[in-house]
Chain A
Amino acid sequence: MERQDLVMVQPLPIRREQPPDDAVVVVRAGVMDRPSLERAARQCFGGWGVLAISVEAVIGTTVDQACRTSPRLSQYRQVRLSSIGRLIRGPFVLLPTFEAPHFSVILPDLSDLTVPRLIRCFDDPIPNPGLDPSR
């Protein structure tokens, strides 16, 4: 590798914690169409050097409450649900990153195999159950 190719990025901040149970529900807001997923993964790569998308685990609360109280999830009209187990069987690696309940789903690439496989790990989009009715 030539010197000018050596671009340093910040390390992805990983929390020191036990992985959640397989049954724990995972939420990704938005409809998860392929272009926006790929853009999100590339953005993560630009900042932290890994292709990944952000999800939230629903731990100690309900999906409705998580969608209502999370500053992230409440920004979206629709959400898609999965679980820790479904993603691991995907098979994808989940890392507890940044602040709980944020997790990063690591993608090996953005190929025609990987991205559709990731999308299939989630249920179809549903209206955001935490949406403020005034919006």
Chain B
Amino acid sequence: MTTNYDIWVDFMTMRNDRRLWTRLEDIRPGFVPIAGQYAIVGCEDAFPAVAQIISVDIEDGMVLQVLAGSVEEHRHLLTTA
């Protein structure tokens, strides 16, 4: 997939507390999710967002906390590899 996000999400599944669950297979190749760090999340026809990775489990997938606002507003949280 050619994307500008680290993790594919369906924002329609986001809870009112802005948490959502996703699968490890929805991570872009090369991106290593680490609990506590931040990632760019998005999908084909949505505005991308920054999310904190709350938990990562090889069997249970990941829980993310999506931050309100644009990627630019939160770019300082993103780790540059």
Q: Are A71 and B16 CB-contacts (below 8 A) given A36-B44, A47-B21?
A: yes
**B75 touches A (CB below 8 Å):** no
Q: Are A72 and B26 CB-contacts (below 8 A) given A30-B44, A77-B47, A135-B47?
A: no
> With the chains together, A36 CA to B26 CA distance in Å?
12
Given A28-B12, A71-B16, A77-B46; 18 other pairs, CB 8 A cutoff: A29-B11, A29-B12, A30-B12, A30-B44, A31-B45, A33-B45, A36-B43, A43-B22, A46-B61, A47-B23, A53-B10, A54-B12, A55-B12, A71-B18, A71-B68, A72-B12, A75-B11, A75-B49
Q: How many Cβ-Cβ contacts under 8 Å join chain A to chain B?
A: 69
Q: Are A72 and B21 CB-contacts (below 8 A) given A36-B43, A46-B61, A78-B45?
A: no
Interface residues of A toward B: which range?
20 to 34
**A115 touches B (CB below 8 Å):** no
List A9-47 residues whose CB lies under 8 Å from chain B.
Answer: 28-31, 33, 36, 39-40, 43-44, 46-47
| 9 A-B pairs in the complex with CB atoms less than 8 angstroms apart | A29-B46, A33-B45, A36-B45, A39-B10, A40-B12, A43-B23, A72-B14, A75-B46, A76-B47
Chain B residues lying within 8 Å of A55, measured Cβ to Cβ, are 12
**A99 touches B (CB below 8 Å):** yes
Are A76 and B26 in contact, CB atoms less than 8 angstroms apart?
no
**B8 touches A (CB below 8 Å):** yes
**Which of B18, B23, B46, B61 has a CB less than 8 Å from the CB of A30?**
B46
Instruction: Write the nearest CB–CB distance from A30 to chain B, whole angstroms.
Output: 4
> With the chains together, A76 CA to B49 CA distance in Å?
11
Chain B residues lying within 8 Å of A44, measured Cβ to Cβ, are 13
Instruction: Write the nearest CB–CB distance from A49 to chain B, whole angstroms.
Output: 13
Are A76 and B23 in contact, CB atoms less than 8 angstroms apart?
no
> With the chains together, A78 CA to B61 CA distance in Å?
28
Chain B residues lying within 8 Å of A75, measured Cβ to Cβ, are 11, 14, 46-47, 49
Instruction: Write the nearest CB–CB distance from A134 to chain B, whole angstroms.
Output: 9
Residue of A nearest to B59 (CB): A7
